[in-house]
Chain A
């Protein structure tokens, strides 16, 4: 398999604290890769480094075969075009309707005719499971679950190869969260996406992640399939997966078979 993201010896310092102290991992094409860890363990910061929103202090980050450190503006734009991002709170542009939000990246990066862009945007709105009428709404008029779906539609606007999700199911009720998990898997299968997601949701971890990386003490203390990581002999991992909530999520997973 071909690596989509390769991170080697990544180190990041804020002031006197090392947020990341030597992290190595690889994300393969087509997999759903989860990043977990306690609050403040640097999950979102790690994602920001893969998105080139934050420069690492040391180490190498390769996304889609390009070294990020020292990449020029044109390469960055090209790579960003091939990545979609769903931010934790959606980050939809509040002055634009859902449809205009989805059209926006296409208008910036392609030379499609207007009606084609609109039709493609409508397709995305349908693909993420939103009602066609939602296309005309403004972000402020959407519920939390719809907002996440609309933001996902924008993330998919340019048919990315690589999709980043920052806590995609936070703030959703269990039913919507499960539906969102299913949607993510369906889209991965249909569009051949590689997905990297940061989460606190143990249910979606068990249900959709192919591999998990556990961050603690500024390092990746365990990387592998969920069951393997959950069995790792690290105090933070044990607390995380074998606390009351962790056990419940695992049992749910078994019930679903």
Chain B
């Protein structure tokens, strides 16, 4: 079949316009723009359609032929018997009215729907937090219910695995902050105050925030993807039918493990952030490491360090619960995993910044 020369489809008139003659191979090409012009160019009013010279016919060709026949209100005759079934099926199906697409909604409708979805989402998250708390209380009352193996896995992937990237980024942020502040301080000859500035800014804000942002991107998204994929493959339902609570098996170990690991990551970020500042202080402001550390010890209180570390478990709780919650929200299709992962990262970053702002206001009111 493929060896035969390609005979393009043709539509001619005979008997001074009374008969249309279809010939050649009416295949998918029959609907190309060029041939469509020929088809649409024929005026209605022919009294017969001779299809005996049609050599090949596929669905697209049958549809084209049917359109010609319909415009002229005739039936094609002489069609080869092997094409007959296809032509009749296509002609019949082409007459079925297409279903109307689902109605498009107006602006107000969409706003309402979005608001409603937002409320439902908040409710679901609240329900998740509630269920998590109940599971947590039960597990702590009976510590044998805590799953250690998944927790150790989180320590390794979320904690140990994050160290290199966290060290590098904290170091760079230390450099950037020291540079920006150093330019101003040098104008006043107040070079040594770089230690106050770096110490307080990194320990109170940048350390915990950087650790949280990296964990939200690396680990929160992974939680959503892991749990979401299990949802798609029915593994969550399988757990339930075996009588294991998915909350206890999947969510709680992740949340607890992240709450434990996050303060440690924050300390790590603090160290490298301050170190970055020290390097910049020495190269740009000529403040030696020794001077920096002396000043640092005098300027920075224990409370600065502890307020920074204190935020970490809260950030961890937010990241892990949003990550797990979004994982459980995954539907049945593969692409909803990607969708929920995006939401998970956006929501956790949003909540981290909001929580950080709340901390700042609270601390300033308490005079910490």
A: residues with CB less than 8 A from B are: 2, 29, 64-65, 82, 94-95, 110-113, 116, 119-120, 122-124, 126-127, 131-133, 135-136, 138-140, 156, 158-159, 161, 189-192
Chain A residues near B93 (CB-CB < 8 A): 122-123, 126-127
**Is B216 located at the chain interface by the 8 A CB criterion?**
no
Residue of A111, A127, A132 touching B98 (CB-CB under 8 A):
A132
B: residues with CB less than 8 A from A are: 1-3, 27-28, 31-33, 36, 58-60, 63, 82, 85-86, 89-90, 93-94, 96-99, 101-102, 331-336
Q: Is the CB of B2 within 8 A of A120?
A: no
A211 to chain B, nearest CB (A): 20
B296 to chain A, nearest CB (A): 53
Leading 9 A-B pairs by shortest Cβ distance: A159-B58, A126-B93, A132-B99, A94-B333, A133-B99, A140-B333, A190-B86, A190-B85, A95-B335
Residue of A65, A132, A133, A136 touching B2 (CB-CB under 8 A):
A65
Q: Is the CB of B60 within 8 A of A120?
A: yes
Q: Is the CB of A136 within 8 A of B102?
A: yes
Among residues of A, the one whose C-beta sits closest to the C-beta of B89 is: A190
Q: Is the CB of B28 within 8 A of A110?
A: yes
Known contacts being A122-B98, A132-B96, is A113 close to B333, with CB within 8 Å?
Answer: no
- A sample of 16 cross-chain residue pairs with beta-carbon separation below 8 angstroms, ordered by A number, consists of A64-B2, A95-B335, A112-B28, A113-B31, A113-B36, A116-B60, A119-B94, A122-B93, A122-B98, A127-B93, A132-B99, A133-B99, A138-B333, A140-B331, A159-B58, A191-B59
Chain B residues near A2 (CB-CB < 8 A): 1
Question: How many contacting A-B pairs (Cβ < 8 A)?
Answer: 78
Q: Is the CB of A112 within 8 A of B333?
A: no
Residue of A113, A126, A127, A161 touching B1 (CB-CB under 8 A):
A161
> Could you tell me the distance between the alpha carbons of A64 and B82 in the complex, rounded to whole angstroms?
21
B331 to chain A, nearest CB (A): 6
Chain A residues near B336 (CB-CB < 8 A): 94, 140
Chain A residues near B28 (CB-CB < 8 A): 110, 112, 158-159
Chain B residues near A29 (CB-CB < 8 A): 1
Q: Is the CB of A191 within 8 A of B58?
A: yes
Chain B residues near A82 (CB-CB < 8 A): 2
Q: Is the CB of A113 within 8 A of B59?
A: no
Known contacts being A190-B86, A190-B89, is A135 close to B98, with CB within 8 Å?
Answer: yes
> Could you tell me the distance between the alpha carbons of A29 and B3 in the complex, rounded to whole angstroms?
14
> Could you tell me the distance between the alpha carbons of A190 and B93 in the complex, rounded to whole angstroms?
13
> Could you tell me the distance between the alpha carbons of A37 and B58 in the complex, rounded to whole angstroms?
34
> Could you tell me the distance between the alpha carbons of A135 and B1 in the complex, rounded to whole angstroms?
33
A119 to chain B, nearest CB (A): 7
A133 to chain B, nearest CB (A): 4
- Sample of 5 further A-B pairs with CB below 8 A, known A127-B59, A138-B333, A190-B89: A94-B335, A110-B28, A123-B90, A136-B102, A191-B86
> Could you tell me the distance between the alpha carbons of A65 and B101 in the complex, rounded to whole angstroms?
43
Chain B residues near A65 (CB-CB < 8 A): 2-3
Chain A residues near B1 (CB-CB < 8 A): 2, 29, 161
> Could you tell me the distance between the alpha carbons of A161 and B2 in the complex, rounded to whole angstroms?
10
Q: Is the CB of A189 within 8 A of B85?
A: yes
> Could you tell me the distance between the alpha carbons of A131 and B58 in the complex, rounded to whole angstroms?
22
A157 to chain B, nearest CB (A): 9
Q: Is the CB of B85 within 8 A of A140?
A: no
Residue of B58, B85, B96, B101 touching A136 (CB-CB under 8 A):
B101
Chain B residues near A123 (CB-CB < 8 A): 59, 63, 90, 93-94
Among residues of A, the one whose C-beta sits closest to the C-beta of B33 is: A113
Chain B residues near A189 (CB-CB < 8 A): 85
> Could you tell me the distance between the alpha carbons of A27 and B2 in the complex, rounded to whole angstroms?
16
Q: Is the CB of A140 within 8 A of B332?
A: yes
Q: Is the CB of A120 within 8 A of B31?
A: yes
Q: Is the CB of B60 within 8 A of A159?
A: yes
> Could you tell me the distance between the alpha carbons of A122 and B101 in the complex, rounded to whole angstroms?
12
Q: Is the CB of B60 within 8 A of A136?
A: no
Chain B residues near A111 (CB-CB < 8 A): 32-33
Among residues of A, the one whose C-beta sits closest to the C-beta of B34 is: A111
> Could you tell me the distance between the alpha carbons of A64 and B3 in the complex, rounded to whole angstroms?
10
Residue of B32, B59, B102 touching A159 (CB-CB under 8 A):
B59
Residue of B58, B90, B97 touching A132 (CB-CB under 8 A):
B97
